[in-house]
Structure 1
Amino acid sequence: MSRRLMPLLLIALLPLGAHAEGFARLAELAERGFLVGAEARLLDEGGEVLGVIEPHRPLSPASVTKLYTAAAALERWGPQHRFTTRLVTAGRLDGQGVLHGDLVLEGGGDPGLVDEDLWRLVQQLRQHGVRRVEGRLIISQWRFGPVTCTTTDRCQARARAGNAYSALLSSAGVNHGSWCVKVLPGPRASSSARAVSCHGETPLIPLENGINTLLAGEPTRISAQRVTEGGGDRLVLDGDIALNSAPREFYRASSDPARQTATLLQSLLEQANIAIVGDQASSGEAPPARARTLAAVESQPLQELLLRMLNYSNNFMADVLALNLVEAPQATLPQAGEALERYTLTVPGHGPVTLHSGSGLTTGNRTSATGITALLEAMYRRPALFPSFVAGLQAPANGPMRFIRRGGSTFHQQVMLKTGTLNEPVAVRAVGGYFRTRSGRWGVFGVLVNGTDRTPWLGWPQVLDPLADDLERMIDAH
C-alpha cells in the first residue's frame, strides 16, 4: 500500500500544470470548461504515474460502472457460476399427461435468458410427459421484479419505448426484456413491407405496420415504437425500406418483462402441443416448498455473460447481475448499488464511491479516475479472475463498438477499454482500461469527462482523439 500511495502523495505537491503533463491533449477539455478527471500509471514495481488530471474528483462514470458490476460478480461467484431457471409445480401429473395444478416458471435471475432456453424447458416438459396443464401459467419473480424504475428512461418505458437500453428489470426476464421485430422488403415497390418476429414467423404482440417498400437503391428509414395501452404492448412501425435492403431488426423494451416471458413461453408450449387451460399471471412469491422441478436450464457461465454484458454495454444484463448480489428477496436497485459499494470497500486505494445501479444508467453514480484505476489494478492482481474480467474489454482495432476506432496503430493494438456514455442531464464520456507499453509493461488508466450547464454537448471524437494521442505517447515512452 505504501508503494501504491507514495507516487500519488508526491503528485499532490506538484503544480497544476505538472499534473496534466501526461494528458496534455486531454487537458484541453478542462480548459474549455468540461470537468475532467484522469489517471494513468504502470502496474509494476513502484507504480509509476504517467499522468493525472484531478484524479480524485468525483464524476459520473456512466457505463464504466459495469466494470464494478463485473468485478463484484466475479468476486462473489467466480467465472464458472451459472444461474438456473426452472419450471416447477405443486400439482399432480396423472397418467394421461394432464398436470392438475399451476405451472410455474421460477426466474433464476439469468441475465442472458433467451427464447432458446425457454424452448429447452418446454422440450424437457414434454419428456416429462406433460401434455396439458389444468391450471395457470405463473411467472415467479420472487428474487426481484417488477423492479421500481429509478431513471427517466425506464419510467417512460412503462408506457412507450423507442429503444432497448431502457428495458425494465425482472429475475424472470427473457431476451433482455425486449421485443424484437424483423422488417423485410415487400415483393415489389409500393407494396407493404413484411414485419415478423425475430423468433418466428408470427409476431407475439400486435404490430401496426406502416412501412412501405421503395425501389432498389432508395434510402431506408424506419421508425419503431413500442406503445402500451389498456395493459397490452404493441409495436408501431412506420417509414420506408428499399427493395434490395437487407432485413432490419429492431429491439424495443417491453412494458412488463414477466408478461413478455409468459407470452413467449405460452407460444412455445402451444407449438409443442401442450395446452394451458388457465390464465397467465405473475407472482412476487417463491413457489411453495412442496413444489417439484419438472424442467431446468442453466445459463452460460458467468465469464461468457460478462463478455456480452461488457462488449455491448447491456444495461439489462448489468442491472440484473447487480440485483443478484442482493441476498434478500424482492431486491431493489438502491440495494444493488449498496452491494456494489460494499464490494468497492474491499478494493485497496479506491476511495469514495456512489453507485445507484450496476449499469450506470442512473445519473447519480460517482467515482474518480483513481477509483477506476484502483479497481482495474485489483482485478489485475487476481490471476484466477483477471482473464475473465479483461476479456470483456474491447481492443479499438476490432471491438464491436466501431466509434472507439480512433487514434493510430499503438492505440488500436495495445489498449483494451470500456466506455461509458450519457447525454442527459449533461454529457458524460468515460473510459477505463489497460495498456501495454513498448517494453511489455502493464498499465491502467481511467478518464472521466463530464459536461456542465455551460458545456452541454460532447462528442466521442473530442475525447477519444486526444486520449489516444496521450496514451500513445505514454506507451511509446516506456
Structure 2
Amino acid sequence: MLSRCLSLCLLLLLPLTALGHGFSHLEELADDGFLIGAEARLLGNGEPGETLGSLSPERQLSPASVSKIYTAAAALERFGPQHRFTTQLLGSAEPDAEGVLQGDLILDGGGDPALTTEDLWRLVQRLHQAGVREVAGRLVVSQWRFGPVACLTTDRCEGQRRVDNAYSALLSSAAVNYGNWCVTVAPARTAGAPAQVTPCDGQADLVRIDNRIETRPPNSGTELSALRVTDGDGDVMRVSGQISTNARPRELYRTSSDPAEQAGRTLMAMLEQAGIAVAGGHVTTTLEPPAGASRLAAVDGKPLQELLLRTLNYSNNFMADTLTLDLATTPRPSLSQGGDAIEAFAGGLPGHGPLRLDSGSGLTPENRTSAAGVNVLLEHMFRQPALFPSFVAALQSPSNGVMRFIRRGPATFQDHVMLKTGTLNQPVSVRAAAGYFRTRTGRWGVFSVLVNGTGSTPYLSWSQVLDRLSVDLSAMIEAH
C-alpha cells in the first residue's frame, strides 16, 4: 500500500514538473552548447504569478537589443509619454531693422533622437518669420549636452573612417537624420549611362558622391552597394552596382563620421535656400551657448511614445543610445554613464537582480541581465497604468510586426504575443526575445528568453530559436 501511494504521488508530480519546466523544445539548443536563460509566468493580482516555464532564469547573459526595453521603461518613468525634446536656434542679439543678426547663429542640439531635415526646415522657416535675413557671424552647431561620444563597439569605432551600414551611427546631441547621410539612386534614361545619384534632402551637395552605378536595360535587376569613407576633405559616399532603366529610385543610408558636422552642412544648405546668408560659414563646438543668448526659433520633436515606437519596432540603435545619453545625470556623459542611469532605475525594482548596461541599445556585447530580471521589468511596467499603453504599443506582434523574420510558429504565438527581439553575431551569437502574452482566457503573462553562444558553438539562426520558442510558448498559452 505504501509503495502504491508513493508511486501515485510521483505520477501526480510529473505533470507539474513538466509544466514548470515548460521550455522543452527550446532546451534542445543546450545540446549544441548554447547557454540559455528563460522564464515565462502569469501575472497575478498584485502577487507573483504562476511560473509556466523556467530554464536557468537567474543566469546572466547578453540580452542584445532586448536592452532597449530597459531604455524605453526608464525614459517613460523619467520623462513621461508626451515629453518632447526641443531643438533651438539662438542668437547673441535680436536682428536689426535690416534683418541682420550681428554675431553667431547657434544651433542648440537638444538631444532629440529623431531630429530630421523636416524639423530643420521648420526651424529655418521660423527664423525667417523672426525677421532674420543675414547672419554676420557663423553658424555654430553646439553639441554641449553630449558629443562627440567615444565609441565602445568595433562597428562604431571603425565607422569613424569607413562604414557599410546605417545601424552603427555615431552619437551627438545635435545629430540629424539618425546620424546618416542619404543619397537617392535613379536610373538614367538610357542603358549604359551612369545612374543619377543625388542627396535625399535637396539639391545641395551635402556629401561628396563617388558614383560607380551603371544603368542597365529594362528588367535587368537592381543591385546596389554603398560605402562611406572619410579622407582629409571629409565624407564620401562611394556607391556602386547597377539599376534598370525601369526601376524606381532607391535610397541608400550610411552613417556620417561626424554627426554635428553633418547637421551643420545640412542646416547651412537650408539657410542658403531660404535666402539667409551666413557670412562666416559653420563650425561645431562642445561649449554651452552663452547665458545671454536669445531664442530666435525652436522646434519640438515628436512625443516620447512615438519615439519609442520607432526605437523598438525598428530596433534603432542610434535612437536608443541617444535616449540613454538623455537619461544620464552627469555633464557631457559617456554612453556607459547613460547606462548607469538605466541600471539605477532597474536597481529600484524589487527582485530584479544584477544588471550591466554599457549601452541602452544592446550593441555593446558586455551588457548582461537575466530572464528573471527582464520579467521583473516587464511586470513593473504592466503595473503602471499611465505608462503601460505606450510601453506595450512599442512592441511587435509576430503576425503583423515590421520585422518579417518573427512571423513564424503557430497562430497562437502569432496572435497572442507582443515582443522585442535582440540579435548579435559578434563576438558570439546572441538571440533574445522578451515581452507579453495573453492566454485564451485573457490573462496576461510575461516571458523572456536569452540564448547565447560561446566561442565553440555554431552559428545560431533565428529560425532555430523562434521555431522552438513559438511551440513552447503556444503550449503554455493554450493550457491556460
TM-score, normalisation: structure 2: 0.95
Match of 1:146 among 145, 148, 152: 148
Deviations 1:427-460 (A, max 9, x none): 1100001000111110000000011111141111
Distance of 2:365 and 2:233 partners within structure 1 = 29
Q: Deviation string for 1:172-212 (max 9, x for gaps)?
A: 00000001111112112212111122222444111011101
Distance in 2, matches of 1:354 and 1:110, equals 25
Which residue in 1 is equivalent to 2:173? 171
Q: What is the Cα deviation at residue 21 of structure 1?
A: 3.0
Percent identical across equivalent pairs? 60
Instruction: Say if 2:77 is the partner of 1:68.
Output: no
Runs of at least 5 residues in structure 1 that lack an aligned partner in the other structure: 1-13
Separation (CA, whole Å) in 2 of partners of 1:38 and 1:107 = 41
- Alpha carbons 2:90, 2:295 under 8 Å: kept: yes
Contact kept, 8 Å, 2:20 with 2:51, in 1: the verdict is no
Change (3 A) 1:429 1:422: same
Shift of 1:19: 8.5
Q: Secondary structure at the match of 1:51?
A: strand
1:198 and 2:173 aligned:
no
Corresponding residue number in structure 2 for 1:227? 229
Question: CA-to-partner distance for each residue in 1:452-477, whole Å, 9 max, x for gaps?
Answer: 11114111101111001111111111
Q: Residue 54 in 1 paired to residue 85 in 2?
A: no
Residues 19, 52 of structure 1: 8 Å contact kept: no
Counterpart of 1:325 in structure 2 is 327
Question: 1:376 is matched with which residue: 366, 375, 378?
Answer: 378
Spell out, residue by residue over 1:63-114, the C-alpha distance to the aligned partner (whole angstroms, 9 max, x if none). 0000000000000011011111010011452111111100000000100100
For 2:404, the equivalent position in structure 1 comes to 402
Gaps of 5+ in 2: 1-13
Indicate the SS of the match to 1:204.
coil
Q: Indicate if the aligned counterparts of 2:330 and 2:337 stay in contact, CA closer than 8 A.
A: no
Backbone CA RMSD of aligned residues: 1.7
Distance 2:118 2:360 in 1: 26
Conserved? CA contact 2:313–2:402, under 8 Å: yes
Which secondary structure state, in structure 2, belongs to the residue aligned with residue 119 of structure 1?
helix
1:309 aligns with 2:311: yes
- For 1:277 and 1:365, the matched residues in 2 are separated by 47
SS in 2 for 1:300: coil
State the shift of 1:20 in Å.
Answer: 7.3
Work out whether residues 20 and 52 of structure 2, in 8 Å CA contact, stay in contact via their aligned partners in 1. no
Conserved 8 A contact 2:94-2:294? no
Establish whether residue 97 from structure 1 lines up as the match of residue 99 from structure 2: yes
- CA change 1:144–1:244 in 2 (3 A) is same
Report the Cα offset of residue 216 of structure 1: 2.0
C-alpha distance in structure 1 between counterparts of 2:277 and 2:302, whole Å: 29
Match of 2:250 in 1: 248
Between the aligned partners of 1:228 and 1:20, the Cα distance in structure 2 is 55
342-351 vs 441-450, greater mean Cα deviation: 342-351
Asked if the contact 1:323/1:331 (under 8 Å) is kept, the reply is yes
Indicate if the aligned counterparts of 2:324 and 2:359 stay in contact, CA closer than 8 A.
yes
Aligned residues: 466
Task: State the Cα deviation string for residues 210-239 of structure 1 (Å, max 9, x = none).
Answer: 101122222321110111000511100111
Contact 2:215 2:243 in 1 (8 A): yes
Amino acid in structure 2 at the alignment position of 1:402? R
Deviation at 1:36, TM superposition (A): 0.6
Which whole-Å CA distance do the structure 1 matches of 2:50 and 2:161 have between them?
52
Deviation at 1:246, TM superposition (A): 2.4
Contact residue 348 and residue 378 of structure 1 kept, 8 A? no
Deviations 1:104-140 (CA, angstroms, capped at 9, x unpaired): 0000010010001001010111111111101011011
- Return the offset for 1:244: 2.3
Does residue 28 in structure 1 map to residue 56 in structure 2? no
Moved more, 264-273 or 234-243: 234-243
Residue number in structure 1 paired with 2:161: 159
Measure how far apart 1:412 and its partner are. Answer: 1.1
- State the distance in 2 between where 1:92 and 1:415 align: 55
Structure 2 distance, partners of 1:21, 1:100, is 71
Is the 2:123–2:298 Cα contact (8 Å) retained in structure 1? yes
Q: Greater CA radius of gyration, 1 or 2?
A: 2
Instruction: Write the letter of the residue equivalent to 1:28.
Output: E
Q: Distance in 1 between matches of 2:417 and 2:425?
A: 25
Q: Aligned equivalents of 1:413 and 1:230: distance in 2?
A: 53
| Distance (whole Å) between structure 2 residues aligned to residue 164 and residue 20 of structure 1 | 42
User: Which residue does 1:7 correspond to in 2?
Assistant: none
- Name the amino acid aligned to 1:340: I
What TM-score do you get using the length of structure 1 for normalisation?
0.95
The answer (yes or no) to whether the contact 2:175–2:263 under 8 Å persists in 1 is yes
CA distance in structure 2 between the partners assigned to 1:411 and 1:253 by the alignment:
36
Classify the secondary structure of the residue corresponding to 1:219.
coil
Moved more, 242-251 or 163-172: 242-251
- Which of 455, 458, 461 is residue 459 of structure 1 equivalent to? 461
Number of the residue aligned with 1:297: 299
1:44 shift after superposition = 2.1
SS of structure 2 residue aligned to 1:365: coil
Mapped to 2, the partners of 1:174 and 1:225 lie a distance apart of 19
Tell me, what secondary structure is at the counterpart of 2:39?
Answer: strand
Task: Supply the distance in 2 between the matched residues of 1:21 and 1:353 (Cα, whole angstroms).
Answer: 24
Task: State the match for 2:7 in structure 1.
Answer: none
Q: Aligned to 2:432, what secondary structure does the other structure show?
A: strand
Q: Deviation of residue 348 (structure 1)? A: 2.2
Deviation string, structure 1 residues 223-266 (Cα, Å, up to 9, x no partner): 10111000511100111112222222111000000000000000
The residue number in structure 1 matching 2:289 is: 287
Residue among 268, 271, 275 paired with 1:269? 271
